[in-house]
């Protein structure tokens, strides 16, 4: 029972044909003639739950207004996939795109404070909602469908393999197969590692932010009978549990563990099919990448909040020792989510790392920075 409670708290705390173009916002041309994909809407997208209207934090409001949802073809299924694109005005073409992956049962809103600071540094950043989480509609992957030859295809589900297929399709269709820097926060770190192991050609480098990787699967919840699992999911999205998880995630709880932070973290839980998508992930057993981490050859930046009370700092040093080409940087005065609690320091570390990718003189691998 204690193990189940621990896993529930760990996962809850991490929340925190022709293709139609995205419909939220508008595009324009810059003076140089380059297509600007800035999405400056004055309204929230219709697919975001109406309680978004109550948000007060400017970063949260801006992020929510700029979420797009667009069809991405994933093995014959058209999945309405949600993401926040780069503004366009700040994109520097001489650097690889940076794709941000949120944690367990979270959304692109997790990067609301980091993304503006990345764009100030002229980094092309995309915040992406994994299949089954965020504002991506999982329905096509939860249902039986037919292929082009009218053959029945079983549901893909929303487990790790399906999430990787979805991410690969997004990389192919939206990032146009450009090698990217893939950032994964918390369980998003396991998702990033899983993807990099299967599609190394797509990943130029990795950034792991207080990442899960050495904890296998999702614990005993994977084997719960469906009725009990559904009860557990209702607890997972409940306000009391999210309140506790919200406080666990931060170092400065008084400043950051607010009611609004909790509400932002569970905003996507109010969407249709949230329960079915999470049940599918639970029954898949979750990510199991620990035995393969040593095979990840890409240069990797490991960022870790010094006061992380969810994933102990020993995991940071374990990543540093296991990955062949890793550097570790500690983020001071931060808990489990430095991209929310210390976004300026986090953006600075990412910028320095991305600059190092262009240096001819290789950095000493497996180093530690303060």
Instruction: Give pLDDT, residue 150.
Output: 56
Q: Which residues contact 259 (CB under 8 A, 6 or more apart)?
A: none
Answer whether residue 32 shows pLDDT above 60. no
Average pLDDT of the residues in 315-323:
97
Encode pLDDT of 189-236 as tens digits: 999 999 999 999 999 999 999 999 999 987 666 666 777 677 777 777
Tokens of 7: 């896993």
- Which residue has better confidence, 145 or 184? 184
Q: Minimum mean pLDDT among 35-39, 260-264, 314-318: which range?
A: 35-39
Average pLDDT of the residues in 112-138:
96
Number of H helices, E strands in the chain: 14, 13
What whole-number distance in Å separates Cα of residue 181 and Cα of residue 80? Answer: 24
Instruction: Give pLDDT, residue 308.
Output: 97
Instruction: Give pLDDT, residue 26.
Output: 36
What whole-number distance in Å separates Cα of residue 241 and Cα of residue 246? Answer: 8
What whole-number distance in Å separates Cα of residue 67 and Cα of residue 14? Answer: 20
Answer whether residue 145 shows pLDDT above 80. no
Whole-angstrom CA distances from 194 to 27, 141, 292, 340 are 34, 19, 9, 24
Q: Minimum mean pLDDT among 10-14, 76-80, 306-310, 319-323: which range?
A: 10-14
Average pLDDT of the residues in 299-319:
96
Q: How confident is the model at residue 36 (pLDDT cuts 50, 70, 90)?
A: very low
Instruction: Give pLDDT, residue 217.
Output: 87
Average pLDDT of the residues in 54-72:
96
Q: Any catalytic annotation for residue 194?
A: no
Q: What stretch of H or E contains 195?
A: helix 187-198
Catalytic residue, chosen from 102, 194, 336, 339, is 336
Answer whether residue 300 shows pLDDT above 80. yes
Catalytic residue, chosen from 186, 280, 284, 334, is 186
Answer whether residue 245 shows pLDDT above 90. no
Q: For a pLDDT cut of 90, what percent of the chain falls above it?
A: 70
Q: Any catalytic annotation for residue 148?
A: no
| 135: DSSP letter | T
Instruction: Give pLDDT, residue 364.
Output: 57
The residue whose two tokens read 């666990």 is 248
Q: What is the DSSP string of 314-342?
A: HHHHHHHHHSTTEEEEEETT--S-HHHHS
Instruction: Give pLDDT, residue 38.
Output: 35
Q: Any catalytic annotation for residue 186?
A: yes
| 199: DSSP letter | -
Q: What stretch of H or E contains 367?
A: strand 367-369
What whole-number distance in Å separates Cα of residue 157 and Cα of residue 95? Answer: 34
Alpha helices in 58-174 (DSSP H): 58-65, 114-120, 139-142, 160-173
- Which residue has better confidence, 8 or 115? 115
How many other C-beta atoms are found inside a 10 Å radius of the C-beta of residue 120?
12
Q: How confident is the model at residue 240 (pLDDT cuts 50, 70, 90)?
A: confident
Instruction: Give pLDDT, residue 206.
Output: 98
Catalytic residue, chosen from 36, 129, 137, 308, is 308
Q: What is the DSSP string of 16-56?
A: --PPPPP-SS--EE-TT--EE-----SS--TTS-GGGGG--
β-pairing, 35-36 with 28-29? antiparallel
Average pLDDT over the chain, rounded to an integer: 85
């Amino acid at each position: 029972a204690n193990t189940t409670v621990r896993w529930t708290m760990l996962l809850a705390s991490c929340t925190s044909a022709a293709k139609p173009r995205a419909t939220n916002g508008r595009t324009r041309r810059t003076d140089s003639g380059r297509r600007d994909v800035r999405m400056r809407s004055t309204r929230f997208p219709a697919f975001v739950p109406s309680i978004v209207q109550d948000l007060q934090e400017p970063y949260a409001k801006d992020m929510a207004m700029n979420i797009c949802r667009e069809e991405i073809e994933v093995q014959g299924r058209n999945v309405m996939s949600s993401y926040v694109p780069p503004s366009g005005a700040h994109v520097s073409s001489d650097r690889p795109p940076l794709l941000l992956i949120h944690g367990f049962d979270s959304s692109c809103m997790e990067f609301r404070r980091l993304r503006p600071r990345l764009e100030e540094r002229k980094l092309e950043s995309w915040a992406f909602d994994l299949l089954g989480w965020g504002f991506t509609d999982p329905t096509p992957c939860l249902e039986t469908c037919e292929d082009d030859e009218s053959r029945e295809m079983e549901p893909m589900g929303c487990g790790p393999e399906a999430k990787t297929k979805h991410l690969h399709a997004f990389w192919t269709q939206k990032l146009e197969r450009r090698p990217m820097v893939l950032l994964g926060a918390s369980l998003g770190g396991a998702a990033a590692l899983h993807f990099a192991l299967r599609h190394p050609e797509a990943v130029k480098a990795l950034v792991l932010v207080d990442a899960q990787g050495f904890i296998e699967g999702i614990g005993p919840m994977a084997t719960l009978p469906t009725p009990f699992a559904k009860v557990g999911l209702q607890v997972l999205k409940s306000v009391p549990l999210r309140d506790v998880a919200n406080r666990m995630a931060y170092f400065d709880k008084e400043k950051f563990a607010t009611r609004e932070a909790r509400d932002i973290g569970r905003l996507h839980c109010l969407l249709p099919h949230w329960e079915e998508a999470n049940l599918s992930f639970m029954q898949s057993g979750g990510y199991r990448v620990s035995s393969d981490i040593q095979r990840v050859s890409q240069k990797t930046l490991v960022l870790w909040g010094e006061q992380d009370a969810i994933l102990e700092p020993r995991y940071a040093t374990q990543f540093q020792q296991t990955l062949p080409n890793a550097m570790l940087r500690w983020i001071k005065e931060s808990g489990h989510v430095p991209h929310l609690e210390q976004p300026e320091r986090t953006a600075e570390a990412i910028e320095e790392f991305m600059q190092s990718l262009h240096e001819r003189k290789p950095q000493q691998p497996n180093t530690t920075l303060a």
